[in-house]
Chain A
């Protein structure tokens, strides 16, 4: 039990930048480039932490609080979501609602911090972020409903691990598949990946997340980047529960399977990003509505 918790916390704290590195490596490999080293995100964070901070005169404490609150919320979320078949460190009845609100709180502060700069540019990014969030949150809730219905529990720990605890034949495969596709779209959208947003550019027409954090610098930016990486990691872990799972074995095996699956997710994201073009901004809502619809279908199938 203790080992599980320690493992969970260590992974949550240390692994997220590695996942970013893996995605970048995959993309580089697929496009025939050499690409940055796997540990590049860590170097970047280290570099940023050593730099000074430039603060605009219009900003208030909110601007500084933004990255910190966001990081804390995603870390808290990460403690609620079980990694693979192992139990989550924190769990209680109804924590699924906490997860949704905690993530919303993080987004709220990121947007506030962006607005706090007083720049219309960053305000635009915040506007986009919350608009799309309305749609993707619906998808997350509908997706989670599928598992709530399946497990009959409101605790993430029980409901998310329900697929792992049943034999494959018992699973509502159709519902899970639908929800999985929906959740994957949410995973990409929430973490500003292609085809919704491009993490690699700073073109004003295309940005959502990057534009919000444009004014952050030094350690603050490091916090933002680290927070984003953790968020990606947590969403990936959440998404994995919708993929028809491998049956459970011993604790060590569980962790190995989880790590392998996370590697798979990173590779998949890398594939998607190299194969797809970014969508026109006007088409993003269509994609997100599709994600909600898919999760909704999954839920309706469960009701039958």
Chain B
């Protein structure tokens, strides 16, 4: 089952490379995405056994990420078929193949139980996104791709070193190992100094992928220049994979008795990311860059929740799902607005609700959702994190958390309201783009999901999140 899950997108990626027609190639995406989702659901439901001597296994948090990735990819796949109709000026061979390859690599991250294998999958996921960011072939997109590649590669290299440090810390009690199960079994014998150093490096490495401040600098550039659908997959998929990696690593470190050390670091990184994001969303004129900073903020929230642990960890896992889907809503609608106005700056984009009633409205609602307004999913998860923090007497941190959320709300609100309200500026050439079924329906569906997560979380999903939180809990 696990193998099939990886092979479906991988083979489809190969098929996409071989298909001759640019018109029919995008239609490969929705069926493959659906097939992947179905198999993923079956695999999650059946609790598939570990494969390859424990190297591949869907652990509870991995199931969550797999589910998120698969659902997000279905939404993006349908959207892409609509999007690529407007981009018939160039070949989409690499675009489609890389999307599918990204799905395969992301799936592998979700089930990799070996630090080295997880690293490889993560690196492949990163690399497969590079050609997508560069899809527009402009000087700015080259610059964004270059920064994405260099910062990302260095980050991931640091993560590899961290993985090695982690394996080395286990050398005191037998041969070194990179398997999570081995490390957990021998957690108490790990050398504390090396575990700490490993954690710092891995936090920096995978934190770069997540886009935690101060390693977030590639994020606004890449998200800003990439097509909306790529932004959605980066912000919802790649970052969640990196978060998963950090969760697993934190799990080992906590078991090794470093709970205090790691939790302080993660809380610090979380608050720092939120602060940086808050500063940069104020007065941000570029809607996609604004979304990128919003993503930095959300990653900060995730780190904060995971760092404090307990009920907050539950909130963070829930928030990972909410953030992923909401980011999908936001990036796809922002992509539509960008396409229609041929610009993404508030200087030129006005009155989006008039010109694009659907995308404009959904962009607006998406903004309310991501900033934590009821009745949407992120409200529930952020509220869980907050109450958890107050219950555990983290008053100062909770206060800072609220304050920074407020600043981001104000910053994003100014930009979003400028964009959606008013009338389109006169004298600007309007492109032919209007909301269609293929680029509109995914927005509606994903917004529906966000709403559902806020009003009534399905019981099986809640159980999954709960199980993941329990799995990651360490009882000394």
Direct touch of chains A and B (CB < 8 A): no
Interface residues, chain A, with chain B CB atoms under 8 Å away: none
